[in-house]
Homo-oligomer: A and B are copies of this chain.
Amino acid sequence: MAPEDALTLRPVGRVASPLVDPGEAPRQPDEGAPAAWLVFDPAMADAIRDLAVGDQVVVLTWLDRSRRDVLTTRPRNDPNAPELGVFSTRGPDRPNPVGLHTVRITAIEGARVRVDGLEALDGTPILDVKPVLGPIPDR
């Protein structure tokens, strides 16, 4: 990997979602996250070519409206919950705000891939897509 791009992300697409207001983003997938489109850069045509309707995938996003200077937080912003180190929470505010979203593909139209319940705001950069290979998330 060349030094100049060693730690720079290159989005491969963007999320198109009805979620536009950070305040209305659901905090967990089972709390009503809407369906969304993954709109890929046309240059990624080969990378997405084997995605298929019905596939369960992990979408990695860059939560670009997050704060990166937060090291402790109250889970789900509950003022009565104890403050926790961010590596013990799933909150979006963290040093490298990469979002992990397990979703199912419901439609594909060219370089646009439709997925069910995605908890990411409209315009969120997409970094990567990985297949879910079994019960262990990293297999």
Contacts and interface: CB of A to CB of B under 8 A. Distances in A.
A8 B8 contact: yes
Given A11-B7, A131-B89, A136-B29, A95 B44 contact: yes
Contacts of A30: 139
Nearest to A62: B7
A88 interface: yes
Interface string A48-59: 111100010110
Number of identical monomers bound together in the oligomeric complex: 2
Contacts of A29: 136, 138-139
Given A51-B85, A85-B48, A96 B58 contact: no
A6 to B, nearest CB: 6
A76 B48 CA distance: 18
Nearest to A72: B46
Given A64-B1, A66-B1, A128-B96, A84 B138 contact: no
B127 A51 contact: no
29 contacts: A1-B64, A1-B66, A1-B67, A7-B8, A7-B9, A8-B9, A12-B96, A29-B139, A46-B71, A47-B72, A47-B86, A48-B85, A49-B85, A57-B87, A58-B100, A87-B128, A87-B130, A87-B131, A89-B131, A90-B131, A90-B138, A94-B128, A99-B138, A100-B130, A102-B136, A102-B137, A102-B138, A119-B138, A135-B135
